Amino acid sequence: MEKVIILRYAEIYLKGKNRGFFEKALENNLQRAIKDIPCELVRQNGRYLVRSFAEEDAETLVEKLKKVFGIHSISVGMETNSDLESILEGAKLVCRPNGTFKVESHRGDKSYPLTSVEISKKLGGMLLATFPKLEVDVHTPDVVVRVDIREHGKAFVFGDVQEGANGMPVGTAGKGLLLLSGGIDSPVAGYMMAKRGMKVDCLHFHSYPYTNMQAKEKVVELAHILSQYTCGTTLYTVSVTHIQEAIHEKCKPQFMITLLRRFMYRIAERHALKLGGQCIITGESLGQVASQTIEGMTSSNSVVEKLPVLRPLVGFDKNEIIDRSLAMGAYETSILPFEDCCTVFLPDFPAIRPKLDEIAKEEAKLDVEGLIEEAFQSVEKIKI
């Protein structure tokens, strides 16, 4: 009998003949997540097992595995031989000596001599004989003892089933470049795309010295948090100080944000193409702020020539985004009071519904290509 962590797939089951590709990607991501803890990962009949780990590492392993997209559920339990006496020994460790319980059985090995119902009845009787203070409650038990009869004479005995991250394994759906600000939304947007299997790198625009180094450190920390779900990431930072100064000097103030965002999108697309990226990802939510109206989004999109712009949060309200930020562990960092570049030279009344012809007229006052080239001279690469 050995303590194991049982990992069950999510959508991979639906992939038919391509399933092997997704299983291999998931296996690689699992190995990466737990590489710092001595243990063994094995694939076994439609699931993965983590075994040969120290008892004190079990909780840490589970927390790491819960951040790997592609896993539907996780259980810590015992692997035993499939005879009832061996299963009972595992069940004793799962069950309590008093209170209420029930047994749920699954017979993956259909050649096993007992049906699932018979297994539950017999094991339940054996537990009642072992723990006289136990009582059966099939509706609201204190403990559920779960038995899974597997092939090759083995069985899993476990109690709780914890929800995994679900989704698809990172690396199976292309590569995107996330515009990572210091706010709540963009880390959640990166999380959402990673959940669909996309490899995510990050691009952050800063306005040093108008924004301080603490603002940059905050973004680096957000990238670290996100990287727990994205199997690592690379953060690129770009200075747009000179662009903001030029816009502030030469253009009407109400178009400041729109013009800046158009520069950001141009820079993001060119940088993504250099990296082999296939899309740009943003944390925009329709109507949340002045620049996130449909007109504002249209203005930004109009300068992107080759790549799609994905906005996974476009239909979310703020509370939904906050809930997801809390769940992924980014919220407390996101709300630290350090300004990002979009708050520099902020106009009193930004244009809510900018018209493309007005924007083009203002943009003609700027040396667009020269400003972009200067921005690329400031790129810094940070491997997370």
Do 334 and 310 sit in the same domain of this protein? Answer: yes
Burial zone of 40 (CB within 10 Å; 0-12 exposed, 13-18 middle, 19+ buried): exposed
Between CA 9 and CA 381, with CA 280 as vertex, the angle to 5 degrees is 95
Summary mean pLDDT of the chain: 93
Residue-level pLDDT at 346:
65
Mark which of 116, 139, 163 sits at the end of a domain.
163
pLDDT for 342: 57
The residue-averaged pLDDT of 142-156 equals 94
Mean pLDDT in residue range 130-144: 95
202 and 150 part of one domain: no
Name which residue leads in pLDDT, 149 or 338: 149
Question: Do residues 152 and 205 share a domain?
Answer: no
The larger pLDDT score, comparing residue 206 to residue 344, is at 206
User: Do 141 and 185 belong together in one domain?
Assistant: no
- Identify the pLDDT of residue 268: 98
Residue 38 lies in a domain: yes
Confidence of residue 16 (pLDDT cuts 50, 70, 90): confident
**DSSP per-residue string spanning 217-262:** HHHHHHHHHHHHHHTS-EEEEEE-HHHHHHHHHHS-GGGHHHHHHH
pLDDT at residue number 337: 82
Residues across the chain: 384
Residues 262 and 370 in one domain: yes
Indicate which CATH number applies to the domain containing 157: 3.30.2130.30
Asked if residue 43 belongs to a domain, the reply is: yes
Do 151 and 84 sit in the same domain of this protein? yes
What's the mean pLDDT in 148-167? 94
Q: Is the pLDDT of residue 125 over 90?
A: yes
Other beta carbons less than 10 A from residue 329's beta carbon: 14
Q: 150 and 101 in one domain?
A: yes
Whether residue 344 is predicted with pLDDT greater than 70 in this model: the reply is no
Q: For residue 226, what are the contacts with CB-CB under 8 A and spacing of at least 6?
A: 178, 180, 187, 190, 191, 194, 200, 202, 233, 328, 330
Do 157 and 180 belong together in one domain?
A: no
Q: Are residues 308 and 330 in the same domain?
A: yes
Domain presence at residue 169: no
Q: Residue 349 domain-assigned?
A: yes
Residues 213-226: tens digit of each pLDDT: 888 899 999 999 99
Q: Do 18 and 87 belong together in one domain?
A: yes
Q: What is the pLDDT of residue 372?
A: 97
- The answer on 198 and 133 residing in a single domain is no
Question: Mean per-residue pLDDT for 124-138?
Answer: 95
Residues 340, 217: one domain?
yes
Percent of the chain with pLDDT over 70: 97
In a domain, 44, yes or no: yes
pLDDT at 347: 65
Query: Is residue 170 assigned to a domain?
Result: no
Domain final residue, candidates 113, 137, 163: 163
- Count of domains for the chain: 2
Range of the domain at 309: 175-383
DSSP E strand boundaries for 98-252: 98-107, 133-136, 143-149, 154-158, 162-163, 175-179, 199-206, 234-239
pLDDT in tens, 346-370: 666 677 778 888 899 999 999 999 9
Question: Does 105 reside within a domain?
Answer: yes
Q: What is the mean pLDDT of residues 245-256?
A: 91
Of 168, 181, 234, residue with least CA distance to 379 = 234
Residue 184 to residues 178, 201, 214, 312, 317: CA-CA distances in angstroms?
A: 13, 17, 16, 14, 12
Q: Please report, for the domain that includes residue 360, its CATH number.
A: 3.40.50.620
Given this model, what pLDDT does residue 212 score?
Answer: 79
Q: Decide if 200 is inside a domain.
A: yes
Answer with the one of 133, 163, 193 that is the final residue of a domain: 163
pLDDT in tens, 47-69: 899 999 999 999 999 999 999 99
